[in-house]
Homo-oligomer: A and B are copies of this chain.
Amino acid sequence: MKTLSENACFGGTQGVYSHASATCNCEMTFAVFLPEEAKDGPVPVLWYLSGLTCTHENAMTKAGAQAWAAEHGIALVFPDTSPRGEDVADDEAYDLGKGAGFYVNATQDPWAPHFQMRDYIAEELPSLLAGNFAVDITRQAITGHSMGGHGALVLAMTLPGRFLSVSAFAPIANPSKSDWGRKQLGAYVGSNEKDWGKNDATVLMQEKGFDGPILIDQGAQDQFLDLLRPEALAAAIATRRQQAIFRMQPGYDHSYFFVSTFMEDHIAFHADALYAG
């Protein structure tokens, strides 16, 4: 693991690191915020999965999360959104290939050799974190924005017991019924739509739900509402009687101005779950 940068931040440290990923078969970059409390021992950890076109950097610089993570003594992890490098397949579209890994394991060419983002986030990166940072891997929560909200919800529901809470900002809530999903799931996991459900938060909510609290914020003026399909997930939550708070926020769009506005609430929500034990 290489340290690319470390900056003092809200009493703790905001670092950027890279490592040779065996899962994605390329060099991967990620960012970690450690609060001051991590100097004294392991702290709980909140994952933040970013959206289309993002790297580890966008939320690290624009989401305003460190202020609240420092207040609650929680570490933050900002992974990249796809494998990177000259050897890695890509597509001209912004929403397929690099910057658009959708947090799935690709089974199809040309994506399969590197696009193993689910296993990377679910297995390899947690091991790396546990071995190199003062994080308590028994107390994890997860959040994300847009494509990252999709990733957070899917990972939380398909890794029972892993995350104590899950939240999302304007998640891609029903990708198998959206142009933000059908193309990508087809490309990455193949054209058999039966394989898509395990990567679709609405389908997973219908089939299994989540054993813990959920918080979702969605801007009512989001320019991508048709692609996000929050109504499908909201209906599935209500039908299942899932413990959840779904907030439609008047006036807000899809930007980081929206994300940063509600970040304090999300981190307080996760802190409640992470410290409840």
Contact = CB atoms under 8 A, between A and B. Distances in A.
Contact of A8 (B7, B9, B14, B257): B257
A17 interface: no
Interface stretch (A44-52, A62-70, A96-104, A269-277): A62-70
Given A64-B64, A64-B67, A219 B253 contact: no
Nearest to A250: B8
Interface residues of A, number: 24
30 contacts: A7-B252, A7-B255, A7-B258, A8-B219, A8-B221, A8-B249, A8-B252, A8-B253, A8-B257, A8-B258, A8-B261, A9-B257, A9-B258, A9-B260, A9-B261, A10-B257, A10-B260, A11-B261, A14-B257, A61-B61, A61-B62, A64-B67, A64-B260, A66-B257, A66-B260, A66-B261, A67-B67, A67-B260, A67-B261, A67-B264
A7 B260 CA distance: 12
Given A9-B257, A66-B261, 20 more contacts: A7-B252, A8-B219, A8-B221, A8-B249, A8-B251, A8-B253, A8-B257, A8-B258, A9-B258, A9-B260, A9-B261, A10-B260, A10-B261, A11-B261, A61-B62, A61-B256, A62-B62, A66-B257, A66-B260, A67-B264
Contacts of A64: 64, 67, 260
Contacts of A10: 257, 260-261
A27 to B, nearest CB: 24
Contacts of A9: 257-258, 260-261
Contact of A253 (B7, B61, B66): B7
A233 B57 CA distance: 34
A257 to B, nearest CB: 4
Interface string A7-24: 111110010000000000
A1 to B, nearest CB: 21
The 5 closest A-B pairs by CB, nearest first: A9-B257, A8-B251, A7-B257, A8-B252, A64-B64
A202 to B, nearest CB: 26
Interface string A217-230: 00101000000000
Contacts of A252: 7-8
